[in-house]
C-alpha cells in the first residue's frame, strides 16, 4: 500500500541574515503515515513539530530531504503542480480567529475556497455546498451569515475545519488546533475529528504539545525534541509504556489525580529549558536535561532504532525497557 505521507531525512534551516546564526529547525526526520491513519506529533514549543507540518503541506520548502504525498514526490513542486497538491493536503491552524477574516461572513470565507478551486459553477451551488459543509461539522447553516466575532472559539474552529474539508482533501494537518480551546470544547472538537476521519476516510497529522490530548486521537505518536524524533510508536506504547526519558517527562507532566495510597515514585523532574536550536548541544540533544545521561550521550548523537517494538533515539533505551 502506498503511504499517504512519506518523508525521508527531512531538514529545514532558517537564517535571518548573512551574519546571523543558522537555526536548524528540523534535523533529518524520517517517517511515513498510512492512509486512514492519525499520526500524533508532540513536543515542547520550538521542537520543530509545526515546521514539519508546514513542510508536509508545502507551505515551506525543505533544505534537504524528500516529501512524498500519495506516492508523488512533492519536495520541490511549484506553480500549478503545487496548486493541485492543495486539493490533497489541507491545514487547520491553532488560532481559529486569526485564520478567519473578521470583516467577512463565515459563509463567504468557506465559499471563497470553492471559488478559488472552481468546485461549484453557480452561486446557488456554492451556497448549497457551504450549508452542507457547515452541517458536516455540526454547525447550523444559518451561521453562514454571521461574522467570526459573533461565534465562540469552538464554532470558529469548526468553520476552519469546514473550510479545510471544502476541497475534499485526503490529508488534513491539525497544528495545535485545540490548544486555545476550553477542555470541554477540546473534547467536542476531537470527537468531531474522529467522526469525520471515519466518515470521509481521511488521514490526519495531529500536532500538539499535550501528550494527554494526542493519545485520545492518534494511532501512532512521534515525540520530537530540538528538530529530531526521539520516540515513535503506537499510542499505547508511547503514552502508556514510554521508553525515552523525554517521553517519560512529558507524560509525567500531564496532570492526573492520584489517591494517597496510590502514591509512588515519580520520574526525576526535568530541569532547564529546551536548548537554542541555533546552538544545539553535541551528542543527544536531550542530554543536558536528562537525569540518566552518560558521557556517551554528550559525545554521540543516538540513531532512531527499533527497541521494544517501537523506534527510540536513546543510547540507554534497552536498559529502560528492562526496568
Query: Of 136-150, 164-178, 244-258, where does mean pLDDT reach its minimum?
Result: 244-258
pLDDT band (50, 70, 90) for residue 227: very high
The reply to whether 189 falls in a domain is no
pLDDT band (50, 70, 90) for residue 268: low
Other C-beta atoms closer than 10 Å to the C-beta of 217 total 20
Cell of 255: 496532570
The reply to whether 184 falls in a domain is no
Provide the mean pLDDT of the chain: 89
Indicate which CATH number applies to the domain containing 4. 3.40.50.300
The reply to whether 37 falls in a domain is yes
**No. of helices (H) and no. of strands (E), the chain:** 11, 12
The reply to whether 83 falls in a domain is yes
The reply to whether 36 falls in a domain is yes
pLDDT in the model for residue 252: 79
CB of 162 closer than 8 Å to CB of 137: yes
**Using CA atoms, how far apart are residues 118 and 125, in angstroms rounded to an integer?**
11
Find where cell 503515515 sits: 33
pLDDT in the model for residue 179: 84
The reply to whether 231 falls in a domain is yes
19-44 tens-digit pLDDT: 777 888 999 999 999 999 999 999 98
Rounded mean pLDDT of 176-198?
90
62-96 tens-digit pLDDT: 999 999 999 999 999 988 888 889 899 999 988 87
pLDDT in the model for residue 323: 60
The reply to whether 307 falls in a domain is yes
Provide the number of structural domains found in the chain.
Answer: 1
The reply to whether 53 falls in a domain is yes
pLDDT in the model for residue 171: 97
Domain that holds residue 238: 1-88+221-255+276-323
CB of 159 closer than 8 Å to CB of 79: no
Amino acid at each position: 500500500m502506498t503511504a499517504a505521507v512519506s518523508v525521508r531525512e527531512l531538514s529545514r534551516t532558517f537564517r535571518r541574515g548573512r551574519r546571523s546564526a543558522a537555526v536548524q529547525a528540523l534535523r533529518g526526520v524520517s517517517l511515513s503515515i498510512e492512509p486512514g491513519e492519525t499520526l500524533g506529533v508532540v513536543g515542547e514549543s520550538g521542537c520543530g513539530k509545526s515546521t514539519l507540518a508546514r513542510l508536509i503541506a508545502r507551505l515551506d520548502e525543505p533544505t534537504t530531504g524528500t516529501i512524498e504525498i500519495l506516492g508523488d514526490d512533492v519536495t520541490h513542486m511549484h506553480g500549478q503542480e503545487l496548486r493541485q497538491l492543495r486539493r490533497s493536503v489541507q491545514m487547520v491552524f491553532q488560532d481559529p480567529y486569526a485564520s478567519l477574516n473578521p470583516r467577512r461572513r463565515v459563509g463567504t470565507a468557506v465559499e471563497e475556497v470553492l471559488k478559488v478551486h472552481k468546485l461549484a459553477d453557480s452561486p446557488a451551488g456554492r451556497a448549497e455546498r457551504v450549508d452542507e459543509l457547515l452541517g458536516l461539522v455540526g454547525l447550523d447553516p444559518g451561521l453562514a451569515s454571521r461574522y467570526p466575532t459573533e461565534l465562540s472559539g469552538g464554532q470558529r474552529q469548526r468553520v476552519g475545519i469546514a473550510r479545510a474539508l471544502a476541497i475534499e482533501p485526503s490529508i488534513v494537518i491539525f497544528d495545535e488546533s485545540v490548544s486555545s480551546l476550553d477542555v470541554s470544547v477540546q473534547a467536542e472538537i476531537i470527537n468531531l475529528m474522529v467522526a469525520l476521519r471515519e466518515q470521509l476516510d481521511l488521514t490526519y497529522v495531529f500536532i500538539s504539545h499535550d501528550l494527554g490530548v494526542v493519545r485520545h486521537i492518534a494511532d501512532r505518536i512521534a515525540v520530537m525534541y530540538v528538530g529530531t524524533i526521539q520516540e515513535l510508536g503506537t499510542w499505547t506504547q508511547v503514552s502508556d509504556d514510554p521508553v525515552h526519558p523525554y517521553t517519560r517527562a512529558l507524560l509525567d507532566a500531564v496532570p492526573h489525580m492520584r489517591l494517597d495510597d496510590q502514591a509512588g515514585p515519580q520520574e526525576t523532574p526535568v530541569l532547564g529549558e529546551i536548548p537554542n536550536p541555533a546552538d544545539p548541544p553535541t551528542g543527544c540533544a536531550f542530554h543536558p536535561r536528562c537525569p540518566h545521561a552518560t558521557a556517551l550521550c554528550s559525545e554521540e548523537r543516538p540513531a532512531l532504532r527499533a527497541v521494544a517494538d517501537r523506534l527510540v533515539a536513546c543510547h540507554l533505551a534497552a536498559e529502560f525497557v528492562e526496568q
